[in-house]
Structure 1
Amino acid sequence: MIAGALAGVAIYSVYLDREYRDYRAAFYNASRPDSDEKFGPTPTDLINVNINQLRSNRNTLRNRRDFMIVMFGAAYLLQGVDAYVYAHMRSFDVSDDLSIAPSIRPDILASNTPGVTLRLDFYSRK
């Protein structure tokens, strides 16, 4: 499950990065009349798009891409926590023969007032 999250975030990050690079090139080329195509040629589907729309989409895609990079780091940390917990819970007994034996008995509390004690004993039937 965690590996799927890592893969999904990575694939989406690559997609966002490609889109961001296209909009960055289109914005750069549209904002300079003597464009040297520093970031590459303008993609054909972005020719004649309003420069404000190009700027807005470029910024949005960059922010989403950066957020996905942070999410990739979080998913990676979650994978580490999952592995750590699994390693410690590996020896935990989860067999079907676990039992509980409740017992209720009267008790005298520290202030010499009557009380009730509930005791739960967990044991394995063998």
Structure 2
Amino acid sequence: MKQRLLFLLLFTLLSIQALAQVQGQMQQVRPPGAPGNQQQSTTDTNYVYNRKPPYTFKRYFNSLAGKDSMNITRMWAGSIIVPGTAQLYNKEYWKIPIIYGTIGGFAYAGYRNNTLWQETGDKKYKTTRDLCYLGAALSYWGSILDGVSNYKYYKDVLPARASLYSAMVPGLGQIYNGDYWKVPIIYGGFITVGYFISSNNSQFQRYKYMYYETSDPDSPLFGKYNAQTMKYYKDTYRRYRDYSILTGIVVYALNVIDANVFAHLQDFDISDDLSASFSPGVIMPVNPQLTYNIGPTVGLNLKLTF
């Protein structure tokens, strides 16, 4: 009888201890944001420590002054808004007056020739005006490309630079990556798309004219052709033209994506060494909020080498 009572007492004490441990773990794992949630506090603290500070205008101007750094995308965007800022960040100050002198010179020459064309009506001034404005645009574009190409980076290949290259000059990112064979494919795609855009637009303009003529009672073509048939072909070729334009946009986007992806793969190990190994290890919870036990546990690590 005494042994049974002693066993019952011991069982009761162990049950109370186990229940207290479970309640303590449940108290640690409370709903997110609940007071006393240790896991939530740990997660929030890690998030605050790991979160990068926002990039402000103050940091941008400090970067231009050489007191901070910026990535190539921000430098590129800034040079689009204010030409020459990329050269300022790259410390190539001597290029800035050349950039503004070239852009300003072409723009002024275009303005003067436009004035002369309006006064005299001579088409040579109109042609010169267009060429000067084109020169100003190319000078502006060249200043942006120059800033991207001279951005300092510790690796030979920068994926963002490859993307910007292909965005500004399709195929240039592929040349930067060493994939020269892709350039004729890219421009072949653009030429094909351009052909279909031109062809479908010509047919669209043709049937558009025919539709208006067959719908006009005063036109000699009125009643000779069915206006609804002309409208059908007009809408069809307009749709084909729009599809061709969308295809051109897709080709352009694929050109940029390809440059970025294969620039990332420059550091990827593609050797034939493929192996797998198991080893004991300590596993930490991926998300402490979803487990009752926030402590580490022992398990196996699988390591693949390829």
Aligning the two structures, in what range does the TM-score lie when normalised by the shorter sequence?
0.5 to 0.7
1:18-33 alignment, distance < 5 Å = 18-33=202-217
The structure richer in helix per residue is: 2
Which of 200, 204, 219 is 1:16 aligned to? 200
Q: Secondary structure of the residue that 1:21 maps to in structure 2? A: helix
Higher relative contact order (CA 8 A, sep 6+): 1
CA distance in 2, matches of 1:58, 1:108: 66
Equivalent residues of 1:2, 1:78 under 8 A apart: no
CA distance in 1, matches of 2:230, 2:212: 9
Q: Deviations over 1:75-110 (max 9, x none)?
A: 2111111111122212322233x2323215487988
Measure how far apart 1:62 and its partner are: 0.9
Residue matched to 1:103: 278
TM-score under structure 2 normalisation?
Answer: 0.31
User: Any stretches of 5+ residues in structure 2 without a counterpart?
Assistant: 1-184, 286-292
CA distance in 2, matches of 1:90, 1:106: 31
RMSD after superposition: 3.2
Which of 187, 190, 195 is 1:6 aligned to? 190
Q: Deviations over 1:6-46 (max 9, x none)?
A: 333222212211111111121122222334xxxxxx8xxxx
Asked if residue 120 in structure 1 is aligned to residue 290 in structure 2, the reply is: no
Residue matched to 1:83: 259
TM-score under structure 1 normalisation?
Answer: 0.66
Bigger Rg over Cα: 2
Q: Which amino acid aligns with 2:278?
A: S
Residue matched to 1:55: 231
Q: Secondary structure of the residue that 1:33 maps to in structure 2? A: coil
Measure how far apart 1:50 and its partner are: 1.1
Equivalent residues of 1:17, 1:61 under 8 A apart: yes
The structure richer in strand per residue is: 1
CA distance in 2, matches of 1:26, 1:12: 21
Residue matched to 1:38: none
Asked if residue 64 in structure 1 is aligned to residue 247 in structure 2, the reply is: no
CA distance in 2, matches of 1:70, 1:30: 31
CA distance in 2, matches of 1:81, 1:108: 36
Q: Secondary structure of the residue that 2:218 maps to in structure 1? A: coil
Q: Which amino acid aligns with 2:305?
A: F
Structure 2 CA distance for partners of 1:48 and 1:115, relative to 1, 3 Å: farther
Equivalent residues of 2:281, 2:301 under 8 A apart: no
Q: Secondary structure of the residue that 2:267 maps to in structure 1? A: coil
Identity of aligned residues (%): 25
